Chain A
Amino acid sequence: MLASINNTSRLPHDLKSVLFNMPPFKDEHILLIAPGSQTTLAQLGLPESFTPARLHFPTRMFPAEKKGEFEPYKVRERRREAHSTNGAGIDVDMRDASAPADKGETKVALQSTPKLKAADGVAVTNKEQNSKSPLPEEVVYEEDIVSMEGAIYPMQNGRIADWQCFFSLLTHIYNTLSPPFHTPIMLISEPVWSARDREVLTQFIFEKFKTPAFCLMDSALAACYAYGTPTATVVDIGHGKADVTAVTDFVVQDHGRGIAVEGCGGKAMTDRLVELLRPKGFTREMCEQIKRSNITEILPFGTPLPATISPPKSSNTALLSSTGSLNGRPPMPRGPGGNAQPGNGEGDEDDGVLNVAAIVSGNTSEFLAKREKERAERTVSKKSDPMNKPSRLPNAKKDRASFQFEEYTRIEPQNGAFTTAGQYIRQKREIEVGVERFLLTAPSKEKTADRCSGGILEDLASQIHHTILSVPDSTKRSELWDSLIILGNGSKVKGFTTALISTITQRFMLSPSATIFTSELPSNISTPLATGGTNTPSHPGQTPGPFHHPAAHGVNPLLVAATHANNPIPATSANHDPAISTHHRSTGHSQTPTSIKTLKPPEYFPEWKDQGGSNAPVATGAGVTNTTGPASSGGRNPPTALVSNRGMEEAVFLGAQIAAKVIFVLDQGLSKGFLSRVEYNEGGPATIHESSFS
């Protein structure tokens, strides 16, 4: 109320600054960044039809040589004999290095040029070599794009744990995309960021990137934009945490919001699998891929496990029965006979770095990738034939199932090997899993030490209940129950949404008799449930008119007026404050929920169509992944199935694009959706709280 008064009083001034100082922004100049604890989505420019984020950066950095600085990739130090270079050019991609490191590196790299030779595929930089060793040995630093050793994740459960590292990640992203100077920036903010955090970020963005306009948008609000709804309960399942937010009429409800509810994300599900499967010889990486595979499913509340129908006889059969000769931890198959393919055409393709060698050999690697794909298809079809016969049952009825496990293995180069690069081979093998794959959300032993609830779904269900119940305007609650948006990559596990809805329904749904009662009482129409739960307005956008009775819930107001005339509300005396008669009468409403629904995703964004279970497993080590096709430089797409695997679980990014289009391009700041540089210079970082999206 106060703020809105403030806003209107400031409006003329803003208008002036916007209209006269600010040339319009162009679609292709808008930079969007949506940071997450695991993956940060980014894109420069709004395409004509909104696409999933073009770039996925892993939200991690590696400590650089100099303390306090960070590199996007693991830098490995190796000593090797110095001998004269023989040809292959060096490639140091400066765009990729974080800015602070930039200047220093350029110099050093130039110095070292004559002494180095690069392997195809991996950027090699060399700093300070020869400073200590006069021997014909030099220290070579190479970027190891798959290794995660020593990685620092600057965001932990949404919180920014390491500011330096987070800033260098932003810088890395900014440099990779290398936007022009007139680029407004939209950053999706995590609900857990405090007001002060937001100020610090605002300051960083303005002063480091010199952006003309900046918008910090709440991720839950972005989800609402994506779904085109003003009111929704947004359940965002992330890696280590989940956020549950009630949004009413595009206003994020701060009170009762489930912020970074710990232990409710994808990580907890992997943890649970590890707990169940580690005794049987599974590694964490395997569990991670099991979680992402098609055979994993979360069954709706009360569904019996297939194992309870036919319990496995011996526990050790389950496990690593892999195809072919690979048993347990197999020796590395090198030859083309196995499913593996020596990977120097693969690892580097995930690399955001352009390098000469890769371009030169581009055809070759494409060819290799193609060949491998064909081979994989062949093997899959070969295998699936005999396997399909005994298992016509749906996955949920089978007590065991297998999936393709895929991993990168580093080959230590042999002595005198020609290449300095870390080489990886990608291996695939089949692994069978038992009913553990249905138990992802069961309460884990580790967690029960700390909490005594019944697992992730139950925790989420109570949080959703709490969040909706905390919405002060009780007339909105029914609509909130009917507009759940469940998103986030943690929700991608098959069956998650259905199972969550069934858990909520089981726990909180009111029985019909509490809502529909045609008992002895004559006029109960003010309990607006006689129509079996369709009591919410059918058009979520509609705002009640001035005579809309809060009790009415979309029921014909005349009807309500008529029934309320029977009620013993006495004629109010003249000296009544008019406010009294118009206030929210919370008792004019009844208990919720009488129905629980998820919102349908919008259908007018063809690129965002649900990829429906194309949850192909992918080794998790890969670097920047490039999601969408044509604009990205050819040959860099990883051959893995990852490419088209992004759907509405990342709807926040869709919402970010829609909102960016609206606030930066269409309305030119009239809605005060962003903070302009002029305003920032006048008011400082705290001005960010006045923009309407944060």
Chain B
Amino acid sequence: MNPSIPPSSAEYGGGTVLIRRDEVSAIVLDPGFSTTRAGFAGEDTPKSLIPTYYGQYSISSQQKHIFGDDIFVTPRPAFSVHNPISRDGVVEDWEMAEKVWEYSFTSRLTGTRSGNFVLNGLDDLHEDEPSREMEGVELEEKPLADSPLLMSECGWNPTKAREKTIEIAMESWGTPAFYLAKNGVLAAFAAGKASALVVDVGASNVSVTPVHDGMILKRGVQHSPLGGDYISSQIRALFKTNSPQPITITPHYLIASKAPVDAGQPPQVTYKAFPPDKTPDASYRTLLEERTLTEFKECVVQVWPGPNRLSATGPNGVANEELAKSSPGRPFEFPDGYNQVFGVDRYRVVESLFDTKAAILDPDSPFPAPVQAQAIPELIKSALNGVDVDIRPHLLANVVVTGASSLLYGFNDRLNQELIQNFPSPRVRISAPGNTAERRFGSWIGGSILASLGTFHQMWISKKEYEEHGVSIVEKRCK
């Protein structure tokens, strides 16, 4: 090709591309209690992952909100942290939920719209076209004006919440097409299954969802609060009674300087002093403590892999607890420099997910002592009891594990042991992706697959249909 000859028009499609905006891929939004995931359909991970928590503070008597990861990084004066979603997984504060969700896709995907910049700067290409006149029309473009939106919801989302969701998507965001899918179904799709028993271990909830032929079996859906946050509360309870000394978690932002200490020795640390009117709120501290606890869960905590409970006796007659004690401990250092090796305790903090009698009791904990019906094996039992006898074996052969808290070391081994004990059948089979991201974003990935399927196009609720039928259409169409 001669570099001094311009490309011919045949070789270069030129302005025709402008019109082709219908190929825009849908946006998949998977709001959870702890994090909100958003991304384009067809991609393998959500581009945008933000905490569902948002920060709030006031500066010169003006209230400011902080969204995104910044809440973990920058302490702000009299900063408080809130979550628009209730522990049950249902939205409480719609106004803020809308803002958090909107942030999740505007920040990385669609950008905040200010006017129609798409045509800007290309004016000289279209000298003959009245492109200037179009600018006025689209000035008030809504954030999702040209992207279909697929959202997920938990299996027990009430009708009111579902109707509110479609209202926000259609009215505030202006999406041309919308669909609301159950996250259990999506997680099954992500595992490549149309029928499955989905065990989703999230931050605020553990849920067990029977899915048959891509439909959720409502009577079988079970959930309990024994999720990641509950495990955190168990770890805190452990720290209170820890020996050689009780442990308090002091997040990094409160520490001015520290000196290394030996294991088990009291920390040598100077704390930061904030003026009383500027001290960040306790909720902020809790959030950052949670960060340290996450690290603790990653590095130290381990699920007793079975067989049998931690408190029981193993197959060779040795108490499981003794076995656990003999395995090497794991060290952990806290932000203030305190460090210690954790032995058998690191099994105890998660044991109550399977055996609620093993729960470490703490009167100050926001979680009441769990009852056995809330343990994961019991949830699975009641979920199966809620569905038709004929499909039970099929579900048991397709147990899909998802959710970030299921990444706890040894979780799948133990779950497998429990299933074998409770349902002695050779065809019990757990499927859990090995990839961390696939496990954490199971329902988002399912949404990404679903929304990019050609056959899914007929499922969308279009803007026109919404305008015709109103919010109630979501109950009819998204089952």
Contact = CB atoms under 8 A, between A and B. Distances in A.
Partners in one complex: yes
B305 A569 contact: yes
Interface in A572-607: 572-573, 575-577, 579-580, 582-591
A591 B331 contact: yes
Contact of B74 (A163, A171, A451): A451
B73 A462 contact: yes
B354 interface: no
B330 A590 contact: yes
A197 B262 CA distance: 51
A70 to B, nearest CB: 10
A452 B280 contact: yes
B176 interface: no
A527 B108 CA distance: 38
A524 B328 CA distance: 6
Interface stretch (A228-236, A416-424, A466-474, A537-545): A466-474
Interface in A46-78: 68
Contacts of A1: 44, 435, 438
A258 interface: yes
A575 B111 contact: no
A20 interface: no
Interface in B328-383: 328-333, 337, 339, 341
Nearest to B343: A521
Interface in B203-235: none
Given A196-B110, A523-B328, A588-B409, A472 B437 contact: yes
A620 interface: no
B388 interface: no
A207 B119 CA distance: 11
Contacts of B307: 570
Contacts of A684: 17, 20-21, 23
A454 B256 CA distance: 9
A503 to B, nearest CB: 10
B118 A519 contact: no
A472 B440 contact: yes
A568 interface: yes
A462 B252 contact: yes
Contact of A212 (B7, B435, B436): B7
B59 interface: yes
A95 B438 CA distance: 52
Nearest to B296: A591
Interface in B121-157: 121-125
Contacts of A4: 44
A131 B253 CA distance: 65
Interface in A133-160: none
Interface in B435-479: 435-440, 445, 448-449, 452
Given A2-B448, A254-B47, A591-B332, A466 B272 contact: no
B430 A580 contact: yes
A681 interface: yes
A589 B17 contact: no
Contacts of A521: 328-329, 341
A450 interface: yes
B255 A507 contact: yes
Interface in B41-68: 42-45, 47-49, 59-60
A216 to B, nearest CB: 15
Given A3-B43, A514-B263, A583 B433 contact: yes
Contacts of B76: 450-452
A523 B326 CA distance: 10
B23 A583 contact: no
Given A164-B120, A463-B73, A514-B332, A683 B23 contact: yes
Contacts of A180: 3-4
B101 to A, nearest CB: 16
A302 to B, nearest CB: 7
Given A2-B42, A512-B260, A570-B307, A258 B73 contact: yes
B394 interface: no
Interface residues of A, number: 103
A207 B328 CA distance: 63
A477 B124 CA distance: 49
Nearest to B306: A570
A689 B40 contact: yes
A114 interface: no
A208 B125 contact: yes
Nearest to A587: B409
A95 B108 CA distance: 36
A684 B14 CA distance: 10
Interface in B412-442: 412-413, 416-417, 420, 426-440
B274 interface: yes
Contact of B25 (A207, A517, A566, A686): A686
Contacts of B171: none
B470 to A, nearest CB: 30
A304 interface: no
A580 B74 contact: no
Contact of A527 (B1, B21, B278, B328): B328
Given A514-B333, A587-B300, A588-B409, A2 B7 contact: no
A6 interface: yes
A171 B123 CA distance: 13
Contacts of B59: 449-450
Interface in A281-296: none
A200 interface: yes
A192 to B, nearest CB: 9
A207 B299 contact: no
Given A514-B332, A575-B427, A519 B341 contact: yes
A200 B110 CA distance: 11
A462 B23 CA distance: 40
B45 A208 contact: no
Given A163-B120, A453-B74, A681-B17, A586 B261 contact: no
Contact of B305 (A204, A514, A517, A570): A570
Interface in A187-207: 194-197, 200, 203-204, 206-207
Contacts of B125: 207-208
B378 to A, nearest CB: 22
Interface in A243-281: 254-258, 261
A572 B413 contact: yes
Contact of B298 (A523, A586, A680): A586
Contacts of B3: 29, 180-183
A226 to B, nearest CB: 25
A459 B74 contact: yes
Interface in A476-507: 506-507
Q: Which 8 A-B pairs have the closest CB atoms?
A: A167-B121, A511-B260, A587-B409, A681-B13, A180-B3, A583-B434, A514-B339, A514-B333
Given A207-B18, A256-B49, A513-B260, 12 more contacts: A2-B449, A181-B4, A181-B6, A194-B108, A194-B110, A212-B1, A448-B77, A510-B339, A513-B263, A521-B341, A587-B298, A591-B295
Interface of A: 1-4, 6, 23, 29, 68, 99-100, 163-164, 166-168, 171, 180-183, 194-197, 200, 203-204, 206-208, 210, 212, 254-258, 261, 302, 448-454, 459, 462-463, 465-466, 469-470, 472-474, 506-508, 510-515, 517, 519, 521-524, 526-527, 566-570, 572-573, 575-577, 579-580, 582-591, 677, 680-681, 683-686, 689
29 contacts: A167-B122, A168-B121, A181-B7, A194-B106, A204-B122, A254-B45, A258-B73, A449-B59, A452-B75, A459-B73, A459-B74, A462-B252, A472-B440, A506-B257, A508-B252, A515-B331, A517-B341, A524-B329, A568-B305, A573-B420, A583-B412, A584-B436, A585-B409, A590-B330, A591-B295, A591-B333, A677-B11, A681-B12, A689-B43
